[in-house]
A = this chain, B = another copy of it.
Amino acid sequence: MKTSQLMLSTLREIPADAVIASHQLMLRAGLTRKLGNGLYSYMPLGLRSLRKVENIIREELDKAGLLEMKPTVVVPGELWKESGRWNTMGVEMLRAKNRGGQDIVISPTAEEAFTALVRDTLTSYKQYPVILYQINTKYRDEIRPRYGVMRGREFIMMDAYSFDIDQKSLDESYEKCAAAYRRIFKRMGLSTISVKADTGAMGGSGSEEFMVESEVGDDTLILCPKCDYAANVEKATCKSDVALDKDGNPQKATDLPYEEIDTPNVKTIDDLASFLKTTPQAFIKTLIYKVSNCGIELPGQKGEDKFVAVCIRGDLDVNEAKLCAILKASDVELACDEDVTRITDAPVGFAGPVKLTKAPVIADESISTMHDAVTGGLKKDVHFIHVEPGRDFTPFMSADVRTVKPGDKCPDCGAEFYTKKGNELGHIFKLGDKYTKSMNVTYLDENGKQQTPIMGCYGIGVDRTLASIIEEHHDENGIVWTMTTAPYQVAIVPVKYDGVMKESSDKLYDELTKAGIEVLLDDRNERPGVKFKDMDLIGIPVRIVVGEKNLPNVEVKMRNQTEANLVPLEEASSKVVQIVQEELAKLNA
Contact = CB atoms under 8 A, between A and B. Distances in A.
Interface stretch (A92-100, A214-222, A345-353, A399-407): A92-100
A141 B91 contact: no
A67 B116 contact: no
A74 B42 contact: no
A106 interface: yes
Interface in A1-28: 5-7, 9
Interface stretch (A43-51, A231-239, A285-293, A445-453): A43-51
B72 A40 contact: yes
B106 A74 contact: yes
A69 interface: yes
Interface stretch (A119-127, A241-249, A436-444, A503-511): A119-127
Interface stretch (A31-39, A275-283, A367-375, A419-427): A31-39
A65 B5 contact: yes
Given A137-B73, A137-B137, A33 B68 contact: no
A128 B104 CA distance: 41
B71 A35 contact: yes
A153 B43 CA distance: 27
A10 to B, nearest CB: 11
A137 to B, nearest CB: 5
A99 B108 CA distance: 14
Contacts of A7: 67, 121-122, 127, 130, 132
A41 B79 CA distance: 14
Nearest to A163: B7
A113 B35 contact: yes
Contacts of A79: 35-36
A117 interface: yes
Contact of A96 (B40, B94, B130, B137): B94
A75 interface: yes
A68 B41 CA distance: 11
A534 to B, nearest CB: 14
A121 B69 contact: no
Contacts of A50: 70
A256 interface: no
Contacts of A127: 7
A459 interface: no
A78 interface: yes
A50 B99 CA distance: 28
Q: Specify how many copies of this chain sit in the oligomer.
A: 2
Given A94-B96, A99-B143, A121-B9, A75 B39 contact: yes
A132 B44 CA distance: 9
A154 interface: yes
Contact of A98 (B78, B116, B153): B153
Contacts of A42: 69-71
A139 interface: yes
A36 B113 CA distance: 10
A461 interface: no
Contacts of A541: none
A376 interface: no
In this complex, the member of A7, A47, A99, A117 whose beta carbon has the largest number of chain B beta carbons within 10 angstroms is A7
A537 to B, nearest CB: 16
B35 A72 contact: yes
Given A7-B122, A120-B33, A71 B106 contact: no
B78 A36 contact: yes
A113 B34 CA distance: 11
B39 A68 contact: no
A478 interface: no
Interface string A132-145: 10001101010100
Contacts of A148: none
B137 A35 contact: no
A76 interface: yes
Given A36-B76, A117-B33, A137-B73, A67 B44 contact: yes
B121 A74 contact: no
A513 to B, nearest CB: 13
Contact of A44 (B9, B39, B69, B96): B69
Contact of A121 (B33, B47, B153): B33
A589 to B, nearest CB: 22
A41 B9 contact: no
Contacts of A92: 99
A91 B96 CA distance: 13
A39 B41 CA distance: 25
Contacts of A41: 69-72, 113, 117
A39 B70 contact: no
23 contacts: A7-B127, A7-B130, A30-B121, A35-B113, A36-B78, A36-B79, A36-B104, A37-B76, A39-B74, A39-B75, A39-B76, A41-B70, A42-B70, A42-B71, A43-B121, A44-B67, A72-B154, A74-B94, A74-B139, A74-B153, A91-B99, A92-B99, A98-B153
Q: Which 5 A-B pairs have the closest CB atoms?
A: A36-B76, A96-B96, A42-B70, A41-B71, A44-B67
Given A5-B65, A44-B132, 16 more contacts: A6-B67, A7-B132, A33-B117, A35-B71, A35-B79, A35-B117, A36-B75, A36-B79, A39-B72, A41-B69, A42-B69, A43-B69, A74-B94, A74-B154, A91-B99, A137-B137
